Structure formats: structure tokens, C-alpha cells
A and B are shown apart, each in its own frame.
Chain A
Amino acid sequence: MSGTFVGMPAFPKAAHEAVNNPTLRGNLRHATHTIRAKRATAVAELTDWAALREAGKRIKDHTLRHLDRYLEQLEASVTAAGGIVHWASDADEANRIVAGLVKATGESEVVKVKSMATQEIGLNEALEAEGIRAYETDLAELIVQLGKDRPSHILVPAIHRNRGEIRDIFEHEMSEWGRPAPDGLTDTPAELAEAARLHLREKFLRAKVGISGANFMVAETGTLVVVESEGNGRMCLTLPETLISVVGIEKIVPAWRDLEVFLQTLPRSSTAERMNPYTSTWTGTTDGDGPRTFHLVLLDNGRTDTLADEVGRQALRCIRCSACLNVCPVYERAGGHAYGSVYPGPIGAILSPQLRGTASEIDASLPYASSLCGACYEVCPVAIDIPEVLVHLRERVVEGGPVTREGNKVVLQPAKGHAAERAAMRAARWAFTRPGALRTGQRLASRTRRLHPRTLPGPGKAWSGSRDLPPVPAEPFRDWWQRTQGGKGGAK
């Protein structure tokens, strides 16, 4: 499996394999159903959950509306606290900045805290090209990195792997990256964790540069917040001499007070914990304590364009809890890789086509990777109406229309490949605004009903490959209604 998502096929094709892989289906079903149930319990404990959810939504909406102001405030407060702020408009710029900063330290290796933003920009690969080795220190990220694999979940990137597979990866790959796995390693969780701990420990102690993302940035004080469960993050944030944080511009909150909401909703939504185990906060640099140099790279990479869209901008409220993935019936069966992005599941289906645009095959297919069942919206702690955005993006794919790309307003053309569907939709609209035409069609169907097969050839196979067609009745309801005057005629 390759470590990149470039050139992914459309979602249905990518999902086909996963759907038919019983081991993967079993792993995912077990993992998502377990966390799903735990989340429900953790959320049900709070009597003010609905109010917290609404507050989270409003804080984010307010911040996004005044993002320009808060970003400037953040820059000023980070600078005043001894940090250095950099602005990156896209992935390439961010990677260049980070590589330059690492090189300036004279180091050729870095330790990393789990971070979605650095995965989004492909930082590890970019650093590798510059001769810098990046070590992932989150357990699941380590498994993905050692296995030359791709992440398939926001919180549990190796959710598609079982213990036996992890043991094999450790045994075969660890030696190439540092301390080898202990002899006779079994697949018990304690032994696997100990192997990872020993392997990582030497990296923590040696590293001079740490790279992180952040869950929140407090504009008021310039404080960054990382929320994690293993303590590896705290090691990376405190031991190295230089810390570089790459953070999406939407991760801002105005004040410390606002964290009160998210530090309740995030752990309950993501790991079903009442309180997060390791919450690290740092404000610039402090003499004699932690890194001596702190760089903050603020990443746009499509976020401003997303913000320009009235319906789609709500995706920027996301706090990456992954509750929507865990509850999604499509994710559960298609797996994370099918989404062709570091952001899988429902949030990925609305985020990737906005951050990257809808030009590629995979991005144009993502808005359709949903039955619109609404379970994601129901659990989302910042009330992102994911089905609404999905439908909005479907419209962008089939109808085209105005969008913002790299700060410019452009008008998209309708995507190719939907011509037959568009014609069918138009024809249906024509018939449905003419009751007479509908009736003629129904009668024709009823009259020829004995000729109708239960399965279909060609494109109809998409339905009848797995389902029989319903039989067409002898007469449509409207004919019965007219014939019997609404049943009053006594006829049945």
C-alpha cells in the first residue's frame, strides 16, 4: 500500500474492495460499534449536552466571522510571548517554511506529535525529500508509518489493523527506524505498547526539534493547546529545544473561557472520556522551561476559500473528534482509505472537496459517499449539518456555479460524466410538472407489467445486482381513486 492519496479512484471503486474484505469489515465494525456505544453513554451523562453543542457551534461561527481580527490578535500575542509566527497560504509554502526552520537548527531528524494539518500537507514526505527524517510518536501513527501505510481514521489512524498485523509490522520494521522490537514479541496489548515505548523513548531523549499541530489556539493569550492520550505529545512539546507547530487558521478560539466548552465536548465525542488524559498548553517560550524557540506556522491551504462559501463554511467548525466517522454506516463498510484523504468519513466527504476542489475523480465522488442518513449531524459536537453540505457539494458537482479558488471568485462548469443523469432529472422534472404525462407513464408501466423482469441488465445492475425489483401493480393509485371515487364506489 502506498503512503500517498494522489490519483485515487472514485469512492465507489475504492470502497468495492473494502466492502468485500470480511476481515476489514469485522475490524471496523467491532471498533466503530464499541466506541459508538461508549460515546453515547459519555454524552448522555451531561444534562447540558445540547447547550454545550450549541455554544461550541456559536463560538466557532463567531470566530470564523471575525477570523481576520482574531488571527491578527493571535499573531500579536504569540509574538509578545516570544514565539515567531509564519503564514503559509498552501501546503508547499508550509512545507518549505518548516523544512527551512529545521535545517536552520542543523538537525536532520524531528519527533512529531500526532497532527492532521501536517498530514494534510504531506510534511513527512516533504521533509524526507530534504534529507530530514520525521518520527511519528503517537502509537497508531507509528504503526502507520512503520507499515508504510496510510491513515484510515482521524483519531485511530491504524483502526484497519488488528493486533497480529501490528506485531508483524513492529517485528519487521522497527529496526530500520531505530531500536528493534524485543525478541519474541507477542500480540498482547501490553507487550506491543512496551515495544513502542522503548522504541520511542530513545527518540524523545535525542530529539532537538519537535513538530506538532494544535487542537486550539487562544487568540487572547497566544496559547496553543494539544489534547492527547498517550503522553507522547507532552514529551515532544517539552523536551526538544525547538518546537514548530503547524496549525490550520480555523483552530482559533477567542479566549481561554471558550476552552471550557470544547474540553468537555471533545473528549466525550472522540474517546468517550469525561476528561482528556494529557492536555498540554504553552504560550510562546519560557526561560528554563521547555523549548527555547517556538515557531507557529499558520496554514490556509483552502480554508479561506471554504470560508467564502455560505453553506460549506460550517465544515471549518470541525474539532476533529471523529464521532461522525464512528457512527457512519458508510465509513464502517467502506473503510477510511476509500475517501482518498487524511480526512476520511463524513467530515472528509465535505472537507476534501472544499479544501482541494472538485476537479479530481475522487473529490467529485465524495459528496455522494453518503446515504444522507443524518447520523453524523446528530453526533457532531459543533452541529455541522454534514448532509446539508453534502447535498450542496453535489450541486456544485452537477450544476457547477460560483466558488472561490485561491481567493478568486470563479464559476465552475458542471462536471462531465453526469450528462445522462442530468437529462434524466430534466425529463423527470418535465413529467412531474405535468400530471398527465406522469399518468401516461404509470399506465404504460402497469399495462406492460407482466413483461417486467425482477432484475435489470446494464446500468440497472447497480440496483438489481443485490436487490429484486418490486412488481409493478395492475393499476396506479390514481386510477383506482378515479375509478372508485376514492373508494366510495365500493370497489376494492
Chain B
Amino acid sequence: MRVALFLTCVNDTLYPETGRAVVKLLTRLGVEVDFPMAQTCCGQAHYNTGYRHEAEPLARHFSDVFGEYEAIVTPSGSCGAMVRELYPRMGERARAEGRGDSLAATLAPVVPKTYELTEFLVDVLGVTDVGAYYPHQVTYHPTCHGLRGLGLGDRPRRLLQAVKGLELVELPGAEECCGFGGTFALKNADVSAAMGADKVRNAESTGAEVLCAADNSCLMHIGGTMTRLSSGMRPVHIAEILASTEEEPAV
């Protein structure tokens, strides 16, 4: 099977190790991964800040770049939800504005074949034990768009539970938002920071060394809060845990 990796602009720029982990993991599972070099950004930040019309060219660009692939895999719950939930809505809104079916038709092909990483592993490849080894105590934070947008359910936790050496610790208040929320983190910095601090406190109360999530944007916020609060915990993307093996362990 040949799939396109949609890494997302944030990961490409700031978290290349997450991208390398996805490539390593999928390759190990026998998937041929391509990274279309023309990819940029799904337009989520534009859309969610109120700039839907600015997001449209980005969505069209996404569809041009990825339209030909059998499946598109992304290690981000929120960017996955952007394509799956909001691209169809953008098409509908354009239609309602009297601009015809062109946008809806352009975006339609990529919608059903875009998968968040853990969804792709569990639903498409049908694996929960990916042969990973990660001898650490980990607590898992389900990010909002993965949880409530895509409905990832217990997929990430099932994958983590199957990792050799990994001890999964329950996170109190797990389903509460970490307070990132894209431009919310800047526009309502006080409330965002208070939510982040509460999330970190809950994470610390588990005694785990690692807080794992399936979205680096949220981890950037949580991790930035952790270092500021001098917490001993580390934020780690789930792809990096699943890519880690006994031969090549992640630190």
C-alpha cells in the first residue's frame, strides 16, 4: 500500500522528528510512504480564526497535492478533522454563497481518504500491536479535535497499551481541553494559560514521565507550559512512541 504523508506545516517546520517517526513506523509495517513536496498547510488556522475565504485556496492546494493518492495519513487530529469535517462544510458554504459546486467538487476526493495516524493504523491496517518498545510511564491526553471531531475513541490508548515496556497511567480530567485552541492561545492568553497549567498539574499528579498526545500543536502548548513551570515531564507525540523499538529505541 502506498500512502501520502500529510505532515502539516507545524510538524514540518518545528517537529521533523515526528515526521521521521511516522515514516519509520509505517515503513516497518510494510507501507510505502510518499511525502509530496508541494504540500503546505490545510488552512485550519485561517478557517478557525474566521478567514474562511483565505482558507479556500489552501484547501484547493491540498486537494491538488493529495488528490491522486490512495490514502492520506496525518499525525494530527486537528488537521485531520479540518479535512474531514470542515472541507465539506467549506464546500457547502461556497454553494450557499452562490458560488456553485466547484469548491465542493474539488475538495470531495480527499475527504474520505484522509486518516489521522492512529485511525489509519487501527482501521485501515488493522493493527494495534505495532511492535514498539518504550520502557516508560506514559499518560495520554486525548486532544479535542481527535476526540470529539474525528471520534478517535480508544484507538490511541489501545495502541499504547500494546507497546512493550510501556506503562499507561490514567490522566485525571483527560477529556478537558488543554487550552491551546490555535489563535485562542494568543487572543485569550490568560484563560488559555490557566487551562494549560491545570492540564500540566493533572499530568504531574499521575507520576508519569511522559505526556503523550496525537497532536503536536497541543503538545507545543502543554510542553511550553511544562518547561515554564519546571515540571519534570516531557511531551511526546504518539508516533515517536510507536516508532520506537528495542533495536532503535527513542529516548
Q: Which residues of A contact B (CB under 8 A)?
A: 11-12, 15-16, 19-20, 25, 310-311, 329-330, 333-334, 367-375, 377-378, 388, 391, 393-399, 421-422, 425-426, 428-429, 431-435, 438, 442, 445, 454, 459, 461-470, 472-473, 475-478, 480-482, 486-487, 492
For residue B130, CB closer than 8 A to chain A, the reply is no
For residue B19, CB closer than 8 A to chain A, the reply is yes
Neighbour of B16 across the interface among A369, A421, A473, CB < 8 A: A473
Stretch from B109-117, B154-162, B219-227 contacting the other chain: B219-227
B64 (CB) vs chain A CBs: closest residue: A433
Query: Which residues on B sit within 8 Å (CB–CB) of A375?
Result: 144, 148, 175-177
23 A–B pairs (Cβ distance < 8 Å), ordered by A: A12-B187, A12-B191, A15-B188, A368-B183, A370-B184, A371-B180, A371-B182, A373-B144, A388-B89, A394-B49, A395-B52, A398-B50, A425-B46, A429-B54, A442-B12, A445-B13, A454-B227, A462-B185, A467-B224, A481-B19, A482-B37, A486-B35, A487-B27
Query: Which residues on B sit within 8 Å (CB–CB) of A333?
Result: 191, 194-195
Q: A15-B191, A19-B191, A399-B51 are in contact. List 8 more A-B contacts (CB 8 A).
A: A368-B187, A371-B184, A375-B175, A422-B51, A432-B43, A433-B57, A477-B11, A486-B23
The 8 closest A-B pairs by CB, nearest first: A371-B181, A394-B50, A467-B224, A373-B177, A466-B193, A477-B16, A477-B19, A374-B148
CB pair B61–A432 under 8 Å, yes or no, is yes
Neighbour of B40 across the interface among A397, A432, A461, A468, CB < 8 A: A432
B39, B45, B192, B225, most chain A CB atoms within 10 A? B192
Query: Which residues on B sit within 8 Å (CB–CB) of A330?
Result: 188, 191, 195
Q: How close is B14's CB to chain A, nearest CB, in angstroms?
A: 5
Neighbour of A468 across the interface among B48, B50, B177, B224, CB < 8 A: B224
Whole-angstrom distance between the alpha carbons of A367 and B48 in the complex?
11
Query: Which residues on B sit within 8 Å (CB–CB) of A310?
Result: 96
For residue B186, CB closer than 8 A to chain A, the reply is yes
For residue B53, CB closer than 8 A to chain A, the reply is yes
For residue B47, CB closer than 8 A to chain A, the reply is yes
CB pair A463–B23 under 8 Å, yes or no, is no
Q: How close is B214's CB to chain A, nearest CB, in angstroms?
A: 15
CB pair A391–B190 under 8 Å, yes or no, is no
Q: How close is A473's CB to chain B, nearest CB, in angstroms?
A: 5
Whole-angstrom distance between the alpha carbons of A459 and B43 in the complex?
23
Count of interface residues, chain B, beta-carbon cutoff 8 Å: 73
Q: Is the interface of A mostly helix, strand, loop or mixed?
A: helix
CB pair B177–A329 under 8 Å, yes or no, is yes
CB pair B12–A478 under 8 Å, yes or no, is yes
B78 (CB) vs chain A CBs: closest residue: A372
Whole-angstrom distance between the alpha carbons of A391 and B35 in the complex?
31
Assess A12 versus B188: contact at CB under 8 Å? Given A371-B177, A433-B40, A477-B20. yes
Whole-angstrom distance between the alpha carbons of A67 and B150 in the complex?
34
B60 (CB) vs chain A CBs: closest residue: A433
CB pair B46–A467 under 8 Å, yes or no, is no
CB pair A391–B47 under 8 Å, yes or no, is yes
Assess A462 versus B189: contact at CB under 8 Å? Given A388-B89, A467-B225, A468-B224. yes
Neighbour of B196 across the interface among A378, A395, A466, A492, CB < 8 A: A466
Whole-angstrom distance between the alpha carbons of A311 and B182 in the complex?
22
Query: Which residues on A sit within 8 Å (CB–CB) of B43?
Result: 429, 432
Whole-angstrom distance between the alpha carbons of A467 and B54 in the complex?
29
Assess A368 versus B221: contact at CB under 8 Å? Given A374-B145, A391-B50, A425-B51. no
Whole-angstrom distance between the alpha carbons of A438 and B13 in the complex?
9
B12, B181, B184, B223, most chain A CB atoms within 10 A? B12
Assess A395 versus B188: contact at CB under 8 Å? Given A476-B16, A478-B35. no
CB pair B9–A438 under 8 Å, yes or no, is yes
CB pair A467–B12 under 8 Å, yes or no, is no
Whole-angstrom distance between the alpha carbons of A114 and B174 in the complex?
36
Whole-angstrom distance between the alpha carbons of A462 and B225 in the complex?
13
B13, B58, B93, B224, most chain A CB atoms within 10 A? B13
For residue B127, CB closer than 8 A to chain A, the reply is no
Assess A374 versus B96: contact at CB under 8 Å? Given A429-B46, A429-B54, A478-B12. no
Whole-angstrom distance between the alpha carbons of A421 and B51 in the complex?
10
Whole-angstrom distance between the alpha carbons of A371 and B16 in the complex?
26
Query: Which residues on B sit within 8 Å (CB–CB) of A433?
Result: 40, 57-58, 61
Q: How close is B5's CB to chain A, nearest CB, in angstroms?
A: 9
Whole-angstrom distance between the alpha carbons of A378 and B53 in the complex?
27
Whole-angstrom distance between the alpha carbons of A325 and B23 in the complex?
42
Q: Per-residue CB proximity of B6-48 to A under 8 Å, as 1/0?
A: 0101011111110110011001000001110111110101111
